[in-house]
Amino acid sequence: MISFEQVNKKYHDKSALVNTNFHLKRGDMAFLTGHSGAGKSTLLKLIMLMEHPTSGKIIVDRQDLGRLKRAQIPAHRRKIGLVFQNHQLLMDYSVFDNVALPLKISGYNERDSSRRVRAALDKVGLLDKEKLLPQVLSSGEQQRVGIARAIVNKPKIILADEPTGNLDPALSTEIMRLFQQFNQVGVSVLIASHDLELIQRLPHPVIQLNQGRISGPPSLMRQ
Amino acid sequence: MAFFKPRQAHNASRSQPESPSKRWLREHKEVVVSSWGQLWQTPFANLLTWLTLAIALTLPAGLLLLLSQAQHLGQQINQSSHISVFLAPYASLEQGQFITQQLELRPDIAQATYISAEQALIDFKASSGLNDILASLTENPLPATILVEPANAFVGTDAIAKLAVQLRQLDQIDQVLVDMAWLDRLQALLDTSERFTYGLSLLLAFGVLLVVGNTVRLQIESRKQEILVIKLVGGTDAYLRRPFLYAGFWAGLFAAIIAWIILQLGTSFLHPSLLLLAQSYQSDWQLQGLSGVGSLILILTSCGLSVLGASLTVGRQLRLIEPK
C-alpha cells in the first residue's frame, strides 16, 4: 500500500531520511518509532505530499507520487486519513462540522454526509457531543474527534503522527484500540509514536528510524 | 467564523446519486448562501471596503455620465448654430429678399431669414441699450443680414464651414460669419474631458482590483488554519477559491449599489445649477440619472472587477499556504 524505494530527503545540507526502503502491505498495521528529529514526521509528510523526496520513489496505492501533478494532490490526500498529535481541529467549527469537512470537500450531499459523520462519531464514542465546539472537550475527546475526521471518508490508509502524545496511558490504549479496529476492517495503518512502552504491548511490527536511517523486521523492509 | 463551514441539513435530500452538474450547482448554491452569511459576521469592515470601492466607481461613472450628456448638449448647440450673412451696403431690399429666397431653395439650408438694416438697428438698439449713441449717428452703420440655418443633415462643423465658403462667393455679399471657434473649443474641451475620464477610469479600475485583492489577502490570512486543514484533508484549489470569489462578487455588488445611490443623489444635487447653464444656451437639456442600461453596466463592471481582483489574488495567496 505504501512503499519507499531508495528515498532520500535533505533539508539544505542535513539529511532527514537516508536510503529509506520499506513496504507496508495492504491491510497491514505498523508503528514508526524513533527519537524526535529521527525523521518520523518527514516520512509521514512525504506520504502526504507535504514534502517531496530529494531522490527515490514513493508509491502509495499503486500510484507513483513523483508523477502526480499539483492538481492531483487533493485526490491523493483523500485516500489518506491523517491524525495529528495536536489534532488540528478547527475551533470555530462544531464537532459535527469538523468531522464533516472531508465529506464536504468531496461533495457529499447533506443526507449522506450526516449519516457518515454520525457513524464516525459513534465509532469514537462522541455521538452525543456533535453540537459542541472542540474547546469544551477534553484532550482525549479532541483526539477522538480528529480520528473521526480521519476515518469519515473511509480512507484506504490512516497515518497518525504521535496520536497519543498528550494523553495518559489509559486514554492512549483506548486510542490505539480504535486504530486496531479500523485495521481489522482492512484499512492500512501507519502510526508514528515514541511511546515504546505502549507499542511493545501491541502485536504490530515496528519500523525504527535513527538519524534518518531505517530498520525493522524483514517483512517490512525491502531489499 | 468558519468560512468553509458546511450548512446543516434540515431535511433529507433524495438518495439517488447526483449528476456532476447538479452537484456543481448545489455546491455553488451552498457557497452563495454561506458567503452571504459570512458578510454579516464583520459588517463594519465590509461596509468600509464597499464604501472605498463605491467611491472608486462613482468618480469615473459620474464623469462618464456627465460627459455623455454634455456631448449630447454639444450636439444640440451645434444643431442650433447658424450663419450670419452680411449683405453689401449697395444691395437693395429687393435684392436682399431675392437672395434669401434663393438660399431657402438650397437643400443644405433649412431656413434663411432676411433682416433689413433698419430692423437690425431696431434690434440692436433694444438689446444694447446704446440708444443715445446710435441716435447721434447720421446713417445706419449696420448692414442687412440673412440668418441662415443649415439643414439638419449639414450640421457638422465641416459642413457648416463648407457652406460658409460657398455663401461667401455669392454676389452682393460682404461677409459671412460663422462663430465656429467656440464650437471647436467646446468639442476640444469635451475630447479632453473624455480622455481624462478614460484615464481616470482605468486608474480607478486598477484601484478596485487592488482594494479587493488586498481585502481577500487579509481574509485568506485570517483563515490560514482553516485553509491548511482543508488542504490536508484533500480540498481542491477550486473548492478553496470559491468562497473568496463569491466574497469578491458580493463586495462588487454592494459597492455598485452604493455607487448607484451616490450617483443618483449627486445628479439631483447638480441638477439645478446645470439647468441654469443649459437655459443660458436656450437648451432644454436636462441632466439625467443613470439609465437602466447604465445601471446594469455599473453593476456588471463592479462585480466583474471585484471577482477579477479576488481571483488574481486568491490563487497566488493560496499557493503560499501549504501544510508543512
In a domain, B1, yes or no: no
Q: What is the pLDDT of residue B67?
A: 85
What confidence tens digit (pLDDT) does each residue in B286-311 have?
Answer: 777 788 898 999 999 999 999 999 99
Helix then strand then coil, % of chain B, to nearest 5: 70, 5, 25
pLDDT greater at residue B199 or residue B173: B199
Q: What is the ipTM of this complex?
A: 0.89
Q: What is the pLDDT of residue B245?
A: 94
Q: Are residues B89 and B171 in the same domain?
A: yes
Side-chain half-sphere of B249: how many Cα atoms within 13 Å? Answer: 13
CB pair distance less than 8 Å for A114 and B9: yes
Residue that terminates a domain, selected from B178, B206, B232: B178
Domain formed by A1-79+155-223, architecture? 3-Layer(aba) Sandwich (3.40)
Q: Are residues B196 and B69 in the same domain?
A: yes
Q: Are residues B193 and B295 in the same domain?
A: yes
CB pair distance less than 8 Å for B228 and A88: yes
CB pair distance less than 8 Å for B233 and A102: yes
* pLDDT-based confidence at residue B48 (cuts at 50, 70, 90): very high
Mean pLDDT per 10-residue interval, chain A, length 223 residues: 88 85 90 85 90 90 90 91 86 92 87 91 90 90 91 91 83 88 92 87 89 82 65
Range scoring the smallest mean pLDDT among A92-106, B68-82, B169-183, B198-212: B68-82
* pLDDT-based confidence at residue B10 (cuts at 50, 70, 90): very low
Q: What is the pLDDT of residue B11?
A: 42
Residues of B in contact with A75 (CB under 8 A): 234
Residue B108's domain comprises 82-178
Q: What is the pLDDT of residue B287?
A: 75
Q: Are residues B69 and B88 in the same domain?
A: no
- pLDDT at B156 > cutoff 90: no
Minimal Cα–Cα distance from A223 to chain B, Å?
Answer: 30
Residues A94, B251: Cα–Cα separation, whole Å: 28
Residue A129's contacts (CB-CB under 8 Å, 6 or more residues apart) are: A95, A121, A137, A141
Q: Are residues B95 and B52 in the same domain?
A: no
Residue that terminates a domain, selected from B178, B198, B218: B178
Phi then psi for A7, rounded to 5 degrees?
-85, 130
Count: domains in chain B: 2
Query: Searching chain A, which residue's CA lies closest to the CA of residue B225?
Result: A90
Query: Of all helices (H) and strands (E), which one includes residue A3?
Result: strand A2-11
Q: What is the pLDDT of residue B79?
A: 59
Say how many C-beta atoms besides its own lie within 10 A of residue B159's C-beta.
14
Do residues A190 and A157 make contact, with C-beta atoms less than 8 angstroms apart? Answer: yes
Q: What is the pLDDT of residue B111?
A: 84
What confidence tens digit (pLDDT) does each residue in B20-41 have?
Answer: 788 888 888 888 988 888 888 8
What confidence tens digit (pLDDT) does each residue in B70-94 have?
Answer: 777 766 666 556 788 888 888 888 8
* pLDDT-based confidence at residue B205 (cuts at 50, 70, 90): very high
Q: What is the pLDDT of residue B174?
A: 85
Phi then psi for B77, rounded to 5 degrees?
-65, -40
Question: Which of B31, B222, B233 is the mutation pick for testing A, counting most A CBs within 10 A?
Answer: B233
In a domain, B294, yes or no: yes
Q: What is the pLDDT of residue B14?
A: 40
Grid coordinates given for B161: 464651414
Residues of A in contact with B239 (CB under 8 A): 105
Minimal Cα–Cα distance from A80 to chain B, Å?
Answer: 8
In a domain, B14, yes or no: no
Residue that terminates a domain, selected from B144, B178, B212: B178
Q: What is the pLDDT of residue B230?
A: 92
Q: Are residues B155 and B252 in the same domain?
A: no
The model's pTM is 0.75
Q: Are residues B53 and B190 in the same domain?
A: yes
Q: Are residues B308 and B211 in the same domain?
A: yes
In a domain, B202, yes or no: yes
* pLDDT-based confidence at residue B206 (cuts at 50, 70, 90): very high
Do residues B250 and B310 make contact, with C-beta atoms less than 8 angstroms apart? Answer: no
* pLDDT-based confidence at residue B55 (cuts at 50, 70, 90): very high
Q: What is the pLDDT of residue B300?
A: 95
In a domain, B159, yes or no: yes
Q: Are residues B234 and B310 in the same domain?
A: yes
Give residue limits of the domains in chain A. 1-79+155-223, 91-154
Residues of B with CB under 8 A from a CB of A: 1-2, 4-9, 12-13, 15, 18, 23, 26-27, 225-226, 228-237, 239, 322-324
Q: Are residues B215 and B288 in the same domain?
A: yes
Q: Are residues B71 and B88 in the same domain?
A: no
Q: What is the pLDDT of residue B78?
A: 61
Q: Which of A50, A65, A79, A48 is nearest to A5 (CA)?
A: A65
Q: What is the pLDDT of residue B249?
A: 94
CB pair distance less than 8 Å for B1 and A82: no
Q: What is the pLDDT of residue B5?
A: 62
Q: What is the pLDDT of residue B76?
A: 66
What confidence tens digit (pLDDT) does each residue in B229-279 have?
Answer: 999 998 888 899 999 999 999 999 999 999 999 999 998 898 888 888 777
Sign of CA dihedral B315, B318, B320, B322: negative
